[in-house]
Amino acid sequence: MDPVVIVGSGLAGFNVVKELRKLDSETPVVMLTADDGRNYSKPMLSNGFTKGKSADELAMLTPEQVAEQYDVTVRTFTEVTAIDREAHALVLGDGERQSYGKLVLAWGADVFRPPIEGDATDRIYSVNDLMDYGRFRQELEGKQKVLVMGGGLIGCEFANDLTNGGFTVELVEPVGRCLPQLLPEPASEAVADGLRELGVTLHFGPLVKEVNHGDAGKLVASLSDGATIEADAVLSAVGLRPRKELAEAAGLDVNRGILVDRQLRTSDPDIFALGDCAEVEGHVLPYVLPLMAAARSLAKTLAGEDTPVKYGVMPVTIKTPACPTVVLPPPENVDGDWECEADGLNVRALYRDSEGQLRGYALTGDHVKEKLQLNKEVPPLMA
């Protein structure tokens, strides 16, 4: 019997394995991963400095333990270079081929790397997995000041986390406010105020143009407004892009992500996708709750019971304890308006559609406790 092959060992791939084994203990499963295969929770990467955790301490299971516990084959440091749909096989980096009966693409998203000049661009770090975190943490040993590029979810979380970990942080966000794609302005301002009170220096408006070597091992970042920032390390957190190139090269339908139906099936009936790389009915949702829902439904489909994924009310908790924040982003295709009440760090913002129906919210400070009550008023994203 050809195995179910899962490409990716992050939360998406691991949870498909975990859920599938609850339903089917017989079908052979092969997990391919380009990294070292340790099981970990990706959201923990942006509060590791607060908790004083090394990469090893954030790892929950070794690949050997995953293999034994779930009766799967785990192949680490294995790169997939092509999908041969006709032969039902993957082409691997060493030229080997891995056959599959069903294929699950759970390979996530790539870090967006902005075009930056200078002679120290090789010292700009990104943290997209546990190995990245380990390298970045090693880079920071004995260092004091970090420049964070990007004021979105990951940038703000790391700015808070690094400051809690004892580092001095300066953050550069060209759009002009914190979390501009997730929060209305009053909530953005509350998060910015919380980070400033914590000690983070915020630069809104310019972007980083160059990173060069300075004196005594320092780095010097040149901004588009002519200012310069000296730091010991630079972290780029300017966004992620769904990995879709190999899928597109194989002839699968793609848009912003790999296009799948409600069963998470691609345009090839034997290939599925979920997590950060997948686009489900127009939704690309790189968050934990939709990923977990997708893993549960896909496991049932792989076990023989075609099961459409359902997305309920799925708020995103942003790990900025300097200003506690939870947001339920309104659906992109829903027209409406934000109604905002703000009092310092406490913001209550409700997004209502043209019929007055609550479709999203952003809560900061003391208002985060209203999340559960508001969830009852919002219709599910995909019932």
Tokens representing 382 are 């995909």
Instruction: Say how far apart CA 21 and CA 80 lie, in whole Å.
Output: 24
Residue ending a domain, among 187, 205, 236, is: 236
Task: Say yes or no: 125 and 221 in one domain.
Answer: yes
pTM (2 d.p.) = 0.93
Query: Cβ contacts of residue 28 below 8 Å, gap of 6+?
Result: 1, 2, 3, 4, 73
Whether 153 and 128 share a structural domain: yes
In a 13 Å sphere around the CA of 53, the CA atoms on its Cβ side amount to 18
- Clarify whether residues 36 and 126 are in a common domain: no
Q: Within a domain: residue 59? A: yes
Q: What is the pLDDT of residues 185-201, one digit of tens each?
A: 999 999 999 999 999 99
Q: Which two tokens stand for residue 102?
A: 């069903």
- Whether 383 shows a pLDDT value over 90: the answer reads no
Look up residue 87 and give its two tokens.
């032969």
The count of structural domains within the chain is 3
Per residue in 154-179, pLDDT (tens digit) is 999 999 999 999 999 999 999 999 99
pLDDT exceeds cutoff 90 at 239? no
Residue 291 lies in a domain: yes
pLDDT over 90 at 304, yes or no: yes
| 295 lies in some domain | yes
Three-class SS of residue 325?
Answer: strand
Is there a domain that residue 382 lies in?
no
Is 119 found in the same domain as 232? yes
Distance, CA of 19 to CA of 101 (rounded, Å): 18
Which pLDDT does position 1 carry in this prediction? Answer: 80
CATH number for position 343: 3.30.390.120
**pLDDT for 208:** 96
Judged against a pLDDT cut of 90, whether residue 225 lies above it is answered with yes
List, in sequence order, every residue forming a beta bridge with 337; answer none if it has no partner.
352
Domain containing 139 equals 113-236
Pick the last residue of a domain from 236, 265, 284: 236
Q: Please report whether residue 380 resides in a domain.
A: no
What does the pLDDT look like over 2-55, one tens digit per residue? 999 999 999 999 999 999 999 999 999 999 999 999 999 998 999 999 999 999
